[in-house]
Structure 1
Amino acid sequence: MLYDFKRKKDIIDLIGILILLIIPALIGYNSKTELQAIRESGSLKLVTLNTPSTYFLEKGQPAGFEYELAKAFADHIGVSLEIIVAPSFSDLFTLVKNRDADIAGANLTITPQRQESFAFSPSYLHTSSALIYRIKQGSPAPKKLESVIGQTIVVPTNSSHIDVLKKLKAENPELTWQESDEPAIDLLEQVHERKVDFTVMDEVTYNSQSSYFPGVNKSMLLNKPQPLAWMYSPHPDDSLKHALERFFAKESTLALIEQLKTKYFQRENRLNFFDTITFRNQMETRFPKLEAYFHDAEAETGINWQLLAAIAYQESHWNRKAVSPTGVRGIMMLTRATAKEMGIKNRTNAEQSIRGGARYLKKVIAKIPERIQGEDRIWFGLASYNVGYGHLEDARILTQRAGKNPDKWKDVREFLPLLTKPRYYKTVKRGYARGYEPVIYVKNIQRYLDLIRWEFQLRQMREASKQGPLPDSSQSASSIKEAPLTL
């Protein structure tokens, strides 16, 4: 009996010791804040969408307003950033609700309905629903709802714009619209092509895409600016909330937001116009100081010097001090990383920039399959230089699926713009891309190349003869028949 009693006592003592050890651990676990849990995991999980205003790959690297802002917040709290791309808009809410993501960043409007289930960071942008129309000569922009009644208005299904229109309909009973499952970018294109009269789109999305549709414009704003913010699941300790408040209160964060707005939402497509007078003036003032560098770059890389000059004009208008909102600079507008890779120490040095750009273009062209030769190889190389090789390959896959030739630029350029549309870019590896950019980029380099060739023909004519008037380059440059470019 004494032995049994002693054994029971030892067991009880052991249990007591275990309790003393386990309870503090349990208390410590339960008292762990949400921010501590994120830091211990080593990463901040951002759920977003693959769109031009949120997250996408640019030349193989992650980009987008939401991505860059979330990356800055992850750095602020000392963790890496993990991207989760939601299959659909509604999945954003499910992933956050189930705590499979820490925050959702996808241009989300703060609404009373959403605030019932979710918490929001401080607002970092405001946007309004805008009426988008096709510019028509002789037709003024619609300024009142009465002027659009009876015309076709198409709005994305389940969008917040429908709620805006319903409120307006209370005061304008004859106002009607159609709902479409197509994304906003498709509806913008339909307005541009005059297939529909109007669409309604938030200003953020419009500003990120409108430069590729020069025939459209926004007229009326249909509501007051609404706040956009990150969304997350509420937590009793509010540690994530306070971290977000501190982050958005920083002067560096406010400055970053302004930079990102310029970079992603105020993009001016300077490729849509062609100012021959400016070009000819710069041929006389800027080009002579650079011409020898283009010849030297051709000698080093084998790339036609006039092509290099056309690329440089497209990139910077031959301005050695040019700087973009994204931080690229110099004659060839090189990134810091590209300059380092190409052995360039000073991007604003014209000779170094031209050599670096030529070396990089040669490297990019070398990735193009060997079976693609001639000018197609050059145009593919330029498209890859602009948008990235991966996105070019995605467009070639779309071209092949459609039964066209993925090795011909004239075919592939038709499919690059489709990388802006979810029903296409969701079927390829790298997702969304600014597919209009490389098409316009190549087209305008071709036109600059024609002008350069024409100016040198004029130079030869002047040297050969001093008699009679010379042709006008603005009328004749497009008629040049030059030997095909080769590498």
Structure 2
Amino acid sequence: MRRTISLISTLLVTLLFGVQCTFLEKHFGDTFKEPRYILDLQGIQKRGFIRAAVDNNTTGFYIYRGRRMGYEYELLRDYAERIGVGLDLVLTSDIQEAFDKLESGEVDIIAMNLEKTPEREKNTSFTSPIDEMNTVLVGRAKSGRIENWEELENDTIYVRSNSAYKNQLQAIRDTLNLAFTILEDPRHEEALIDAVVSEEIDWTMADQNVAKANTTYYDGLDISWVVNEAGEVGWVTRDNSKELLNSLNEWIEDKQKRFIPDLYAKYFLNSKNGYFRSNSPFSSIAGDRISQYDEIIKSGAEYLGWDWRLLSSVVYKESRFDTSATSYAGARGLLQLMPVTLERFGVDNPNDPEQSLFGGVRYLAYLDKFWLTRVPDSNERIKFILASYNVGHGHVEDAWRLTLKYGENTQSWDAVSQYLARKNDPVFYEDPLVKSGYAKGHLAVAYVKDVMSIFEAYKALVDTGKS
């Protein structure tokens, strides 16, 4: 009877609260709504990574010889190291999509060079200025340099949707009483620059830095006509992330003297860097090659049934694609196998890229078979394989047993990795279930995270290579 009364009381309270909330929201708007998503600096640090929306362009984030590079990427990596977390990048070419992802909590920060406007400041906060940006008109040099705005009378200028460019052009058009047309286009600035080069359109607008970078890829672009003189730009956080905003502003203040200017020079003032970025076959900007060993890596990945970019991520992590690499412990070759493993998997010459690669591939296939029945899901099993490759499958199996002992999901890497990370604690490595003893398991957990992070970057920036 008492239980029945309790259930009825709970139901009545729930119904009453729901009716009240609905009534208040209906009549008083958002005042009584809970914030949809709150994750400030401490929450990000507890989660272990910061997630940032970055522009999908050729200066912000790209791959060069397997290495992650880019102006925004290096800035974000430095900030992530400062607050002691990992970095997760979300590429987007749609500015409004970036704001939507920020509002929904899919990202913690928009790391794009954005101009502060009243519309953009709704429910968001801008950091201190990171940079100043000019905007320029982009056309073909053979069309002749623009000397005044009247020359564009009756022309059409295409601009990126949701950018500040439309408002800048409208102000000029209205002030001078001109009749040129402004059309918003969902394509990214660089895609619009491509359209200028291909003569699909005559004019577009871009940040001067982006435009300059594109002149290293294309001859015949004219970017001499400045639309808007240097305006301050910054990054964006949710307005309920006050601690994150304060932390970013302190970091910007610290880095404005040397780090940010030096990085700017590296990516925008160094013509050699621009040349390699735009011409190297091992740049994700110029093509879809990661290394000179892509062909044998693709063959090895086919043997494993893996995405070739995942295997490339492992090779990069192990040796940076250096066939002569030798670790302090004596591991050698592209996939850094120890002498006993080299012998076991038939590698006579670890400096031979094909032998070395396929020795590691056969070892990875062995580990795949070892975990197959315990972890049927291939996406989860990959992480068990990677950890086993790094620290030995005996240590990962110990963590699996501990996960089983404590009643958690043994098919989940998130669950098992917690116990692997604790294998330097005697409470766990002295447990009778543990067969392989002490291990710096936290390093193997970090290894898996890093390989998967590299893989995500490769997936975002390098094509599969399939015809």
Q: TM-score, normalised by structure 2?
A: 0.49
Larger radius of gyration: 1
TM-score w.r.t. length of structure 1: 0.47
